[in-house]
Every structure is written in C-alpha cells, then in structure tokens.
Amino acid sequence: MGKNLAEFRLLGIDVKVHWSFVLVLAFGAFLYGAGPAGWLVGGLYGILTFLLLFVCVTLHEYGHALTARRFGIQTRSILLLPIGGVANLERMPEKPIQELLIVIAGPLVNFAIAALLVPIVFLFGTEAASGLGQASVIVDNLREPGLLNLLLYLFLTNVLLGFFNLLPAFPMDGGRLLRSLLAMVMPYMQATRIAVFVGRLMAVAFAIYGIFSGGISLLLIAFFVYVGGSAELEAVSSRAVLRGVRAGAAVAHDAVSLYTSERLERAVELVMRSYQTDYPVLDLGGRFAGVLTHQRLIYALRELGPDTRIVEVMVPSTEIPECSPDTDLATVWELMSQHGSRVVAVRAGTQFLGIITNDDMSEVFQVMGAAIEGKQRRQPPADPQDTGAASKPNGEHENV
C-alpha cells in the first residue's frame, strides 16, 4: 500500500502512519473550514481535531498491544489508516480468556478517556453539556473552535469508538470478543466460523447503510470486515491443519545442499535442474552455516555476478530460526512470522536435519488440507442413536 507518511517508536512498539492519512487531515480541514470559523482558522482547527482523534485511536491500539505483552505476545507495529488503527500482533493467544482480555482492552481505553473528560465537560462546559440531547446543537458546537467544544468532541468520539468497536463485526474487536466467548464453550475453529459469519452479516449491513447514507467510511469498513474475516478464517484453518504435522516429516531429506566455498554459478545449475529454490549451506566440515535463499541468489547474480562465493551472500545460520523435528508446523509458522524469515532450520540436538521454507509450508497445507477435506466428504453420516460413532469424527477433526 505504499510508503508510510511517518514512523516513530513508543514503549518498544513501532507506530506507522500510512500515507493515506493525509486524506484524513484534508477532510478535517475541509469539514471545519466550511464552518462558521472560516477556512483558515476552521481548517487548522479541523486538522487539530482529527490529529487528537487519532491519538485516541493510537491509545486504543496500545491497549491491545500492552495487554498482549502481558501474555508474552509482542506487537510488530501499529499502523494508522484512514479507517482506524491496526495492532499487528505476532499471534493471537489460543486461550479464549487471554484473547478476551486483549480484545476488550482497546475499547476500555476509549471509555477511560471519555471518563476522564466527563468532569471537565460537565463542570466547565455547561452550555456544551446541555446540548448533549440535541444533535443539531452538538454539530454546531463541534464545528465552532474552542477548548470545551474540542473536549466535548473527544468525549463523544471516544464513547462512539468504544461502542462501535464492540459491534460483533469480526475481525473488529467485538467480533473477536464474540469468538473468544464462543471458544469457551466450543472448539476454536467452530467459534471462528460463527464469528466470521456474523461479521459478514454486519459487513453487509454496514455496506447497505453506507450506500443509502453516503457514508464512504462505512463502505471501507464493510470491505475490511468481509475480507479481514475471510483471511482470519483461512489463517485459523491453516494453523489447524499445520498443527497435525511435525517439522521432521516436512523436511525434504533429498534436498541438495551447497558449500560455503562454492560459487553462485553452482546454485544456478541446480535451479535449472530442479524445483528447489532455497539451499542450505554447509561449511567444509559439514556443519550448517546458513541458507542461500532465492531472493539472495537473484540479487547477488544481478549485483555481484555468478563468480561470487556463496558464503558472501548467504543468510548466516545465526539469523535463521531453529526448531526440533517434533515441533508442529503451526509453531514453525509462528517462528517464521516472529523472525521475518521464510526459512527455519530443523535440528535434532546438534545434528542438522534440513530446512523448511514458506513454499514447503504451502505445499504441506495444500496436500494435508485436501486430504482432510476428502476424508470428511467420504465419512458416512453417523447414526444418531450411536453417540460413540457420532462423537469420534468431530474429536479427530478438531485435533488436526
């Protein structure tokens, strides 16, 4: 989606402001500039208002991130977009109660901000507070520059943000909250399917309302909810499939290895004769030294030439995450994600067994997913009177 407008780091978390955020500020300037304060003062006031709004959105995301940190889950970054913020967690916890606490922390931050503003608005802004029951009065107050009106705006928007995020539109906070509650009484996969289905219904409702009300932002949110929910369901399905496969079974034991003393032209020869794209690299003593990835190979051929030694361009072993052969592939996937690596080395103690790549993971998922799907289709219907026969296939399916 292009480069970021700005980046900064706070409390050990990178915050990235997407370039499209400029559109939000421009909209704020236009909205308030057309008000009673005029284009200059109103425009500047509109920019300030929207900046403070997104400060609250950022604090909302920090609520998620800092709570996740309490459970040992780090946050790669927080991305601010025109439709809100996204906390990019390394993973979501599988314990429903942990997910519930992480999810609810965001809206609670908004409610806490609103609670802090209540005394100021009601004690010192009596005129503004008296109009809370009249929508026209509120709109007029919000467009008129002033400290109390600004505080009233922040109070109202934080209340609205808190409640809006609690709508069961998966993968928004409310949808994840629904999934965590369902997961306490049913399998995680089933809970996700139900939450995604409810989220799709909400997305359709957002889209219909957005079309008839002219709310473009609601159309964007509807698209995000529908696509994001589908992506989340696919990710959960992938983890369920990969959890049943061990790393030792996914290692290609016939994969070709390269040596640190060889040159890139050797890798080119191998690429032309096989489908292998990433190569483990061994030193002269046969010890694992690193990996020559497809990306490194292409870059080195273009910039350095085929006579370059492999040791000069490989990813050293110290930068490659490792796992044991008993590690399930769902955990391997998380290792790749956490380290930003497309390769994981598999070791049995000090013995190097091979590597698993993103391509290997995709292949295993497709094959195992197809096998499980075919098994489910061929499974004869269980006899309703035979409770043992009815419960066994479901148990096996959820433990995959």
Mean pLDDT across the chain: 81
Residues 6+ apart with CB under 8 A from 385: none
Residue 145: per-residue pLDDT: 79
**74-106 tens-digit pLDDT:** 888 898 888 788 888 887 787 889 999 999 999
Residue 131 clears pLDDT 60, i.e. is over it: no
**32-73 tens-digit pLDDT:** 877 777 788 878 888 888 899 999 999 999 999 999 999 988
Residue 369: per-residue pLDDT: 61
Read off the pLDDT band of 217 (50, 70, 90). Answer: confident
Contact predicate 175/197, CB 8 Å? no
Stronger pLDDT, 209 or 372, i.e. the higher one: 209
**297-332 tens-digit pLDDT:** 999 988 888 889 999 999 998 899 999 999 988 888
User: Prior bond to 393 cis, omega within 30?
Assistant: no
pLDDT, mean of residues 280-308: 89
**10-22 tens-digit pLDDT:** 988 999 888 888 8
Residue 55: per-residue pLDDT: 92
Indicate the burial class of 399 (C-beta count within 10 angstroms; 0-12, 13-18, 19 or more).
exposed
Domains of the chain listed by start with CATH number = 1-166 (no CATH), 169-242 (no CATH), 247-358 (3.10.580.10), 363-398 (no CATH)
What global pTM score does this model have? 0.70
Q: How far apart are CA 153 and CA 173, in angstroms?
A: 23
Residue 346: per-residue pLDDT: 92
Percent of the chain with pLDDT over 70: 86
